[in-house]
Amino acid sequence: MTSQPEHGHRTGRGLDVLALACLILIACSLRPAASSLGPVLSEVQGAYSLADWQTGLLTALPGLIFAICGFIAVPVLKKVGLFGSLVMTCVLITVGVGARALVDSWVSFAGLTVIALAGMSIGNVILPVYVKTRFPDRANLGATAFTVSLGLGAMFPAFLTAPITGHFDNWRVGLGIWALVPACALITWIILKLARSVPDLDRPEQDTHEAAPPRRHIFTSAKARYMAMFFGLQSVNAYVQFGWLPQIYRDAGLDPVLAGLMLTVVTLGGIPGGFLAPQIIMRSILPRFFLVSFSISAVGGYLGLLLIPTTAPVLWAILLAYGGFAFPAALALITGRTQDVSITARTSAFVQSSGYVLAAIGPLAVGGLLGMSGGWSVPLGFMVGVAALMGVTGYLAAAPGTVDEELTSTGTRGGTAGTRGGTAGQK
């Protein structure tokens, strides 16, 4: 039995399961282009004879592209709708990840990586809107599935890329195989559309008794600014780890497969983190305490890598993994600290795009510090400072209240009510 809720899509047990599977597949597609590169970074560097700055640029591309393209995600959502936006996401990732494994030019490899990351960037911003509209009565389920799947999408490429590369004796196979994930996501998304179970964000809400959210810029909310800083600092941690952690371990003396396994341990934290962090935020279970604890753990992991990297390499990876719980917590803050879908969309775009500006700078800074200092002491000291600041901004971002309330208290009401404002009220 199916029903037709306010956003015009059909629901029912079977359709809900399909919608959840689609969410999982798309979310799993939003990390492999980044997390699969670290385990074979040396091979890619050798194949293209890359200088240190070029390698640093590759590791910085995720944050850089996420920052730039995140700003266009909401206009894209307005222009082509939810279905078209996520089709674009899946197509760009599939083409970028698949084709970059076939080219012989460094410029082409970097360009196709940009294409894949652009698709990932749009998906990063749009999926929280999909979660809020497709699972309005099961927000915890949607948020948990989203964050756990992002963790899986980071973990499996980090774990399997090096073994696949070794098995086929070809790093191109190790990278290109991850194009299958977004291809499967695209097929599932089209099936969901044919089943008329994709929310229509242009459909007016039936319940219009509440005033529309204000149209003031999200930047006027202090909470949104702290969320953006927290998101950015945790992203610096994540993308430095994706791009450089295997190399840090390899330079310390670990073999390539074991070094890749350490990154797998770190990304493995995305699974329990994806389950637990949304509950901490959505249910307000000491959120400030936990966000600060993530920071302290990351500081400990970096200090271990700095002082005694090979003495207990798994321990340092575990500490960094717990620090990585900050990522699903940051995503949960977007949905947990907003109410109206329009505010969710605008906050998602602002927090992620602004935050990824920091994420773009981080890997570049690490590469530059590595080149200038000739060792990992200075870059790791830099990352200790980043992890500490993450705790400060997390404490501020997790304060009680919502972005909607801050905007309402400082702005004026206007516009039309409902989710139509969620896609159109981005001025």
d(CA 79, CA 77): 5
pLDDT single digits (tens) 13-29: 778 889 999 999 999 99
Report the pLDDT value the prediction gives residue 211, as an integer from 0 to 100.
45
Backbone dihedral angles phi then psi of residue 3, each to the nearest 5 degrees: -135, 170
Cα 282 off chain centre by: 18
Backbone dihedral angles phi then psi of residue 238, each to the nearest 5 degrees: -65, -45
Q: How far is CA 340 from CA 138, 310, 344, in A?
A: 16, 49, 6
Report the pLDDT value the prediction gives residue 185, as an integer from 0 to 100.
95
Residue 223 token pair: 């909470």
Q: How far is CA 225 from CA 326, 338, 350, 359, 392, in A?
A: 16, 13, 9, 15, 13
Listed by start position, the domains of the chain span 13-199+217-424
Looking at the DSSP bridge assignments, the partners of residue 11 are: 3
pLDDT mean by block of 10 residues, the chain; 427 residues: 56 82 94 85 86 78 79 86 93 96 91 94 88 78 84 83 90 94 95 87 49 65 91 88 85 85 82 85 88 96 93 93 92 84 82 80 84 91 95 92 79 39 34
The answer to whether the beta carbons of residues 394 and 319 sit under 8 Å apart is: no
Report the pLDDT value the prediction gives residue 182, as an integer from 0 to 100.
96
Backbone dihedral angles phi then psi of residue 11, each to the nearest 5 degrees: -130, 170
Superfamily covering domain 13-199+217-424: MFS general substrate transporter like domains (1.20.1250.20)
116: nearest Cα among 186, 184, 177, 182: 182
Residue 383 token pair: 């990352």
Report the pLDDT value the prediction gives residue 411, as an integer from 0 to 100.
47
Positive or negative, the Cα torsion across 344, 346, 351, 352? positive
d(CA 171, CA 76): 34
Question: 85 exposed, middle or buried (CB, 10 Å; 0-12, 13-18, 19+)?
Answer: buried
